[in-house]
Amino acid sequence: MSIYVDYAATTPIDEEILKSMLNSADKFGNPSSIHRIGKEAKAFYEASRKNIAKRLNAHPDEIVFTGSATEANNMVIRGTADYYERPHIITTAVEHASVKETYQDFEDTCDVTYLSVDKDGRIDIDELKDALTEETKLVSIIMVNNETGTVQPMADIKEVLKDSGALLHIDAVQAFKQLPVDTETLNCDFLTLSGHKLHAPKGIGVLYVRRNTHLKRLITGGSQERERRAGTENTLYAYAMMKAVEKADENREENTKVLRSLKETLLKELEQQEVPFEVNGDVTTQTNHIVNLYFPWTTSEYLLTALDMAGIYASGGSACNAGTVQPSHVIEAMYNEDRARSSIRFSFGEQLTEDDMKYIAEKLKTIYTKLGKNGFI
Amino acid sequence: MTNKDTTVVVGMSGGVDSSVTAKLLLEEGYNVVGIFMKNWDDTDEFGVCTATNDYEDVRLVAEEIGIPYYSVNFEKEYHDRVFQYFLDEYKKGRTPNPDVMCNKEIKFKAFLDHAMKLGADYVATGHYARVIHDDDGVTMLRGVDNNKDQTYFLNQLTTEQLSKVLFPLGHLEKPEVRELAHKYDLATKDKKDSTGICFIGERDFKEFLSNYLPANPGRMINMDTGVDKGKHDGLMYYTIGQRQGLGIGGDGGPYFVAGKNLETNELYVVQGDNHEALISTSLLASDVNFINPAADTFECTAKFRYRQKDVPVTVKVTGDDQIEVSYESASAVTPGQAVVLYDGDKVIGGATIDKVFRNGEALEYLA
């Protein structure tokens, strides 16, 4: 038995996407070359950009291809923080590491405000209002949390920032597959996406930058991406990214249904099996592809190992280089460190079945029962 | 139960010994799982977590021999149960043995529990010791490699703990283990053995300790003459019988540490090998652990520190958790260290040395 329930970490490459990549491999030219081979590649590459722009309700010149969403988030934060003189920046306590740790680098040269979250993982709009000053240049918000699926109140955030001078940076990596992502509706200035969360290969990300926005560039050495990111264009991966964005956008409603039923089945089965657990956050408003569960009777480190031995692949917190689990800063921000140490994340893809969910619940029951019988609970 | 149905969790450190341990068990048909323990968080001068390389070696060996591998974090348990004890003992002027404590509290308690929770039937480590499970229960024997025997550090393991333990290297000599590592072409076959206390590593001991305990320099006094021999760096830096690092001499024979006075913060030194002040004839010890039931009084042999030759002793149980061990004569028996009792190759048990006497009179090791 082998059940992968870690789709928020990464997804398998879609077969159709992989095939279409291979079929396009003849467009090998360097898009910056002025000969015909280069121009063919350029046309192929720009078509990907154009389609992604359309899906995001943006202009093609607002789309920058990057090596990853981590890189894109770095570009936004470093490129903005370095552009202004000691700017004030607002972010949240529950960002992805690519935002959180990048801000840690600027704590000496910028004024960084970290917004707290409630037990549902959501920011308090009044706290944002209070934090906002004339010096605020950038607000970074994760639209859908990668550990809990919590959705931030984007419409309210937009309203608060409307008349301010602050730029809005949205990490939409986990959001895109679950919710409509429209750069005009969101009224954002930066938005980031990742290919491998959408069944494209690893190594491709997208950065949306609103027209006429200042951004100091990070990678120099060529005029690619309108001087926003140097380096020979990754034409094939950009193509895969485009395909992945299209597919996710087109199948969103259908996928959501499948994912919701998976989540509901897992929770229902766990209750039936009488495995003690609590959902972290508000399950009714979280996206359907993630559910983060607190198991008060054990630790995430133990449970992840036991589940792995049973062929169930989930996650929780972040792994250090020595393979041990660091408790999730997101669950810690919502609750406390102890709860974070006993919580794990299941994240779903539409390839999973309800039987898989039943199997997971049964295995958790077996683990729970054995621990109790052997006096470990 | 056949080996195939027996799950053995191997504590893999990324060293050659535990690598060979895992491979040998696999050869014997056991269902083997490797788990790396992270007990201490430290980064080297290049910002790399020191556990990273060791875990990388665990991964390499596990992939090579084809076993699942995992990692578990016991930093908190290690800090609370081993490191705190280590500091407390130094504060008391004693010389702790963190390896004994690590085996008792971490490797064969926290880790053993973790493995049992994961469905292990046994836990195995690369220790040089033998454990025999039979109808009589459990017996621990010295490793056949006299030079590597690690039973001294395992003396606090209870019968219950040992009943779930395998030491596959106990019947091998170290060079044979290296040879096996080469034979199986394991990634760790040429890896240097780790030395010293795990959390200190290659660092300077004095400097390390000074990060945690305030050094309190004082005077060094010749115990025989009362002559002030200069400054000492802090009592915690010295152990009974120590010769190196005193920075005195040149007036006829080397000096040795013979005692500490915590009240006056004086370090007592004596001149010459086998000085009477270092010689004892009995000791009192607590944290008594008998692996197999023992009589109230019995004769056996004992080690007072690692790698020392056995000394014939008489053991008397003198209290609820106290034994008196008497012997003809031994030098530099040190409070805080373990006294481990043997009957031939068999380990009877062990205890922690508290007080040392010469012909019934307490030595001034700790005043």
Kindly report, residue by residue over B98-121, the tens digit of the pLDDT. Answer: 999 999 999 999 999 999 999 999
What pLDDT was estimated at residue A352?
A: 98
* Nearest alpha-carbon partner for A69 in A18, A162, A14, A143: A143
B54 touches A: beta carbon within 8 Å:
yes
ipTM of model: 0.91
Q: Are residues B254 and B328 part of one domain?
A: no
Under the banding of pLDDT at 50, 70 and 90, the label for residue B364 is: confident
- Span B287-302, average pLDDT: 96
Concerning whether B102 is annotated as a catalytic residue, the answer is yes
Q: Do A323 and B114 touch (CB under 8 A)?
A: no
Which of A219, A250, A281 is where one domain is finished?
A250
Q: Are residues B63 and B110 part of one domain?
A: yes
- Span A283-293, average pLDDT: 98
What are the C-alpha distances in Å from A15 to residues A12, A22, A238, A240, A254? 9, 11, 16, 11, 19
d(CA B41, CA B60): 22
Q: Are residues A142 and A271 part of one domain?
A: no
Q: Are residues B85 and B61 part of one domain?
A: yes
Residue A90 lies in a domain: yes
* Nearest alpha-carbon partner for B321 in B301, B282, B291, B351: B351
- Looking at the 3D structure of chain B, how many domains does it have? 3
pLDDT above 80: residue B366: no
Residue B202 lies in a domain: no
Q: Do A305 and B55 touch (CB under 8 A)?
A: no
Under the banding of pLDDT at 50, 70 and 90, the label for residue B316 is: very high
Q: Are residues A272 and A215 part of one domain?
A: no
Q: What are B38-48's pLDDT values in tens digits? A: 999 887 777 77
pLDDT above 90: residue B251: no
Which of A250, A284, A305 is where one domain is finished?
A250
Q: What are A206-236's pLDDT values in tens digits? A: 999 999 999 999 999 999 999 999 999 999 9
Which of B249, B271, B293 is where one domain is finished?
B271
Q: Are residues A224 and A356 part of one domain?
A: no
Between residues B157 and B271, the one the model is more confident about? B157
Residue with tokens 């989930």: A314
Residue B201 lies in a domain: no
Q: What are A72-114's pLDDT values in tens digits? A: 999 999 999 999 999 999 999 999 999 999 999 999 999 999 9
Q: What is the mean pLDDT of chain B?
A: 93
What pLDDT was estimated at residue B85?
A: 97
Under the banding of pLDDT at 50, 70 and 90, the label for residue B367 is: low
Which of B271, B291, B311 is where one domain is finished?
B271
Task: Spell out the residues 6+ positions from residue A189 whose beta carbon is closer than 8 angstroms to its own.
Answer: A167, A168, A169, A209, A210, A213
* Nearest alpha-carbon partner for A282 in A292, A272, A267, A297: A292
Instruction: With beta carbons under 8 A apart, name residues in chain B contacting A324.
Output: 38, 71-73
Full domain range(s) for residue B327: 279-362
- Span B213-238, average pLDDT: 92
Which of A189, A221, A250 is where one domain is finished?
A250
B18 is in an annotated binding site: yes
Q: Are residues B287 and B248 part of one domain?
A: no
Q: Are residues B265 and B144 part of one domain?
A: no
Instruction: With beta carbons under 8 A apart, name residues in chain A contacting B113.
Output: 376
B142 touches A: beta carbon within 8 Å:
no
pTM (predicted TM-score): 0.93
Q: Are residues A103 and A40 part of one domain?
A: yes
Task: Indicate the angle between helix axes A235-250 and A36-55, nearest 10 degrees.
Answer: 30
d(CA B313, CA B281): 10
B17 is in an annotated binding site: yes
d(CA B216, CA B197): 23
Q: Are residues B71 and B11 part of one domain?
A: yes
What pLDDT was estimated at residue B197?
A: 76
Full domain range(s) for residue A325: 252-373
Q: What are B205-217's pLDDT values in tens digits? A: 888 899 999 989 9
Instruction: Say how many C-beta atoms besides its own lie within 10 A of residue B64's C-beta.
Output: 16
Residue B99 lies in a domain: yes
Instruction: With beta carbons under 8 A apart, name residues in chain A contacting B119.
Output: 306, 309, 370
Q: Do B72 and A370 touch (CB under 8 A)?
A: no
Question: How long, in residues, is chain A?
Answer: 377
Residue B109 lies in a domain: yes
Residue A207 lies in a domain: yes
d(CA B352, CA B348): 14
What pLDDT was estimated at residue B47?
A: 75
Q: State percent of chain A over pLDDT 90.
A: 97
Residue B194 lies in a domain: no
Question: How long, in residues, is chain B?
Answer: 367
Q: Are residues B316 and B231 part of one domain?
A: no
Q: Are residues A347 and A243 part of one domain?
A: no
pLDDT above 70: residue A296: yes
CATH of the domain at A279: 3.90.1150.10
Q: Are residues B294 and B245 part of one domain?
A: no
B71 is in an annotated binding site: no
What pLDDT was estimated at residue B36?
A: 97
What pLDDT was estimated at residue B8?
A: 98
Instruction: With beta carbons under 8 A apart, name residues in chain A contacting B70.
Output: 305, 308, 323
Residue A186 lies in a domain: yes
- Span A238-242, average pLDDT: 98
Angle at A186 between CA A181 and CA A239, to 5 degrees: 35
CATH of the domain at B169: 3.40.50.620
Q: Are residues B97 and B31 part of one domain?
A: yes
Q: Are residues A188 and A62 part of one domain?
A: yes
- Identify the active-site residue in B10, B67, B82, B102: B102
Q: Are residues B289 and B253 part of one domain?
A: no
Residue A121 lies in a domain: yes
Q: What is the mean pLDDT of chain A?
A: 97
Given 3-state DSSP classes, what are the helix, strand and coil percentages for chain A, each rounded to the nearest 5?
A: 40, 15, 45
pLDDT above 70: residue A277: yes
CATH of the domain at B357: 2.40.30.10
Strand order in the sheet with A190-194: A63-66, A205-209, A190-194, A167-171, A136-142, A88-92, A111-115
Residue A9 lies in a domain: no
**What b/e string do you get for B82-100 counting C-beta neighbours within 10 Å, with b at 16 or more?**
bbebbeebbeebbbbbbbb
CATH of the domain at A127: 3.40.640.10
Given 3-state DSSP classes, what are the helix, strand and coil percentages for chain B, each rounded to the nearest 5?
A: 25, 35, 40
- Span A55-62, average pLDDT: 98
- Span A147-152, average pLDDT: 98
pLDDT above 70: residue B167: yes
Residue A7 lies in a domain: no
Residue B95 lies in a domain: yes
Residue with tokens 């690590």: B102
Q: Are residues A224 and A272 part of one domain?
A: no
For A62-76, give the DSSP string.
GEEEES-HHHHHHHH
